[in-house]
Amino acid sequence: MASSKMRVEELRTELHNRGLSTAGPKPTLVRRLEAALRQQIPSATSDADAFPPRRTGKRARDSPNEDSHRSPAEEETTKEDRIVTATKKGVAVLDQWLPDSVKTHYHVLQLGGEVYDAMLNQTNLGDNNNKFYVIQVLESDTGGEFLVYNRWGRVGVKGQDKIHGPYRSCESAMQEFEQKFLAKTNNEWSNRNNFVSYPKSYAWLEMDYSGKENNSTVTENLGHALGKQPQESKLEPRVAKFISLVCNVSMMNQQMMEIGYNANKLPLGKLSKSTILKGYEVLKRLADVIDKADRKILEQLSGEFYTVIPHDFGFKKMREFVIDTPQKLKRKLEMVEALGEIEVATKLLKNDADMQGDPLYTHYERLHCELVPVEFGCEEFSMIEEYMKNTHAKTHSNYTVEVVHIFRISKEGEAERFKKFASTKNRMLLWHGSRLTNWTGILSQGLRIAPSEAPVTGYMFGKGVYFADMFSKSANYCYATRTAKDGVLLLCEVALGEMAELLSAKYDADQLPEGKLSTKGLGGTAPDPSKARELEDGLVVPLGKPKKESSIKGDLLYNEYIVYNVDQIRMRYVVHVNFNFNTRG
């Protein structure tokens, strides 16, 4: 099939299987795949002359300029067309581009808690740099022989590599490793836990090696992983289907790549909490200067963010990616939030490759919540469906949704924490939507408030948990697409009590006035309060059709409700929907 006629997901699968970047819109994916195919077929045509000959067995010389920026054509030729495999022996993964002969007989050196494995990153928007540097000490499986491996280049391609050695002592190999680390970062390896980033130097991407030690070879194949289902599970089939949807690291990998994150450089399973907090911290500094229009500072801080949270920009001009508007800052903040949820999820789902029997049941047990399907057509189901349909805003008419399943949810420990708010006046059943990547984290940990490292300016009414009474307002935060149509939302009982009502942004709204329990951002359109339904326990369901509030002259189209204490939240229903996007336009 011609590349141009393939669907986006087919292009991405084909590129992934060849070890190539899957980032970018369809035209970029087509060009990338066609370039790979041209390299694969020797030809006497002019196309063959468009690319320099591919390097053969000879490895690049190690020189002071070894990580210099090369041209796109030169970089493209360093890619190899093969399925990328990750070989793990012990706690660290061998670099994917090591020769198989080395992978078979060597592992990454570990001495006590020291793992001699470093992934370095440097993004400098002004110089159009977005590059990586890998350093690994390799020990032979039989012992007594050591190598030091380096690989470097622009993010998204293989780049160049060199193997130093063999060394007869681990001290010699460690010395080479530590000297290279110092030369590239200006930091001593022994003091890396107090790492300081310097301009024009590489930053160290901290990895989490806390997983169980095991030897394994994993072939990354997203299409297969997404479709994989066990033959049998103790779980009720609807629950099993839902767990297979949200507890899926391959799905997380794919969705994060689609918004620019480079999972090849910093695999999702190796994310550390400190990396995520550093990402928040850089965004916080960006938020402090974003209104000052100092381009140089914005470029510098954007580069710092992309150094900490690696992205694959291909060969686009780096200056196109300066984080210079509140909207761009908000998108990056949402990315870091998603990575925070994934960091929780990957720890929870670790070692699934070794799991025998019923992995879905094991995933479910680890969530520490009970999911019970709500039957189609029953009173509860009809009420929720009515709430959805009535509060789908006219301004969100580019899609419709259909219910796949609804589950009653009971989160371990949540009812006990909610007790002190159970009789609070003004308790409402409200919507909360989030990316598919986030649900393992949310279901296992509950809804949480952004950490102190996050910038307050990314949250219109301060750092809290946000809810809506309009279904589609929350549904937009699922970020579903035409090729990834699944969305998940929560319906939560929220103890709002007396609300501080606001018409416009107030970043310190979490400092509530005395006697207030929550914030309400007043929207110009809201469900008709006279049509709200009150349940037996006093919970109010605002399922009336929307009506304009002519007296409200604020910044919001629709209401927002924010609480700053997670004990005021009790999850009641999980709603799994499919998005159907209009074909017009």
- Round to whole Å and give the CA distance between 456 and 154: 33
**What DSSP letter does each residue of 519-579 carry, written as one string?**
EEEPEEEEE-GGG-EE-TTS-EE--SPEEE-TT--SSEEE-EEEES-GGGEEEEEEEEEEE
- Name the residue among 336, 311, 346, 395 with its Cα closest to residue 131: 311
Collapse the DSSP code of 39 into the 3-class scheme (helix H, G, I; strand E, B; otherwise coil) and give the result.
helix
Reduced to 3 states (helix: H, G, I; strand: E, B; else coil), residue 412 is coil
CA dist., res. 171 & res. 310, Å (int): 31
Sort strands 486-495 and 427-434 into parallel, antiparallel or unpaired: antiparallel
Peptide bond into 326 cis (omega under 30): no
Catalytic residues: 560
Q: Left (φ > 0), alpha (ψ -120 to 50) or beta: where does 357 sit?
A: left
Residues forming a β-bridge with 114: 111
Q: Which of 313, 281, 250, 251 is nearest to 72 (CA)?
A: 313
Residues β-bridged to residue 132:
121, 153
C-alpha to C-alpha distance for 438 and 452, rounded to whole angstroms: 20
**Residue position matching structure tokens 């970089």:** 75
Contact 392, 471 (CB under 8 A): yes
Q: Cα separation of 419 and 175, whole Å?
A: 59
